[in-house]
Amino acid sequence: MGTSIAAVLVMILNRNIFYGALALLICLISLAGIYALLQAEFLAITQLLIYAGGVLVLLIFGIMLTNKISGKPVLTDSHNWFSGIIISTSLLGVLLFSFQQNEIMSAQSNLNATRHINNIGIELMSTYAAPFELSGVLLLVCLIGAALTASSFKKKTNG
């Protein structure tokens, strides 16, 4: 958990965008480790595969493609960081308050072994079948949309 917080701080405070992407990679891998410790192994592997192996590679591709070759790195700056700090600390206060209400940090609760990937597969096809199919449609639509948006059409003129 400490690695993820440190990686996020590096990502936010760094002005070079490529270092931010690498820090996000470390953060996602550490989040996968946290999920594995919270007995969500399927989600941990899914996070590693999809986020660290898919989204981040796509992001780094985008950063490399939109980089000018003049040798100067792309620098980013944040202008309204003050309101961001106010909003995030208030959210942190709300979450800490709810943790104190519910006695969250008891480490030995719910160590039953009913969270196998078999159950996930069965429930995904029976109870959660509608979001499953809808996410398939969503993925198809986003695939077509992204491919169409990023391509450039050259209009052929007749004659």
Contact between 3 and other proteins per CB under 8 A: no
> DSSP 3-state assignment of 141?
helix
Which residues are paired to 16 by β-bridges? Answer: 75
Q: With beta carbons less than 8 A apart as the criterion, state whether 20 and 7 touch.
A: no
- Given candidates 53, 115, 125, 133, which one binds other proteins under the rule CB under 8 A? 115
Residue 75 phi/psi, 5° resolution?
Answer: -105, 140
**114 versus 158: smaller Cβ distance to other proteins:** 114
- Given candidates 10, 26, 43, 45, which one binds other proteins under the rule CB under 8 A? 43
| Dist. CA 103–CA 133, nearest whole Å | 37
Q: With beta carbons less than 8 A apart as the criterion, state whether 99 and 40 touch.
A: no
| Smallest distance from other proteins to CB 39, Å | 6
Q: Is 77 left (phi over 0), alpha (psi -120 to 50) or beta?
A: beta
What's the number of CA atoms in the CB half-sphere (13 Å) around residue 7? Answer: 15
| Smallest distance from other proteins to CB 28, Å | 7
- Given candidates 10, 54, 81, 158, which one binds other proteins under the rule CB under 8 A? 54
Over the window 4 to 23, marking each residue x when it contacts other proteins by CB under 8 A and - when it does not, the resulting string is ----x--x-----x--xx--
Q: With beta carbons less than 8 A apart as the criterion, state whether 20 and 39 touch.
A: no
- Given candidates 79, 154, 155, 156, which one binds other proteins under the rule CB under 8 A? 79
Tokens 């996410």 found at: 135
Interacting residues toward other proteins by CB under 8 A? 8, 11, 17, 20-21, 24, 27-28, 31, 34-35, 38-40, 42-43, 46-47, 50-51, 54-55, 58-59, 61-63, 65-68, 74-77, 79, 95, 102, 104, 106, 109-110, 112, 115, 119-120, 123-124, 128, 131, 135, 138-139, 142-143, 145-147, 149-150, 152
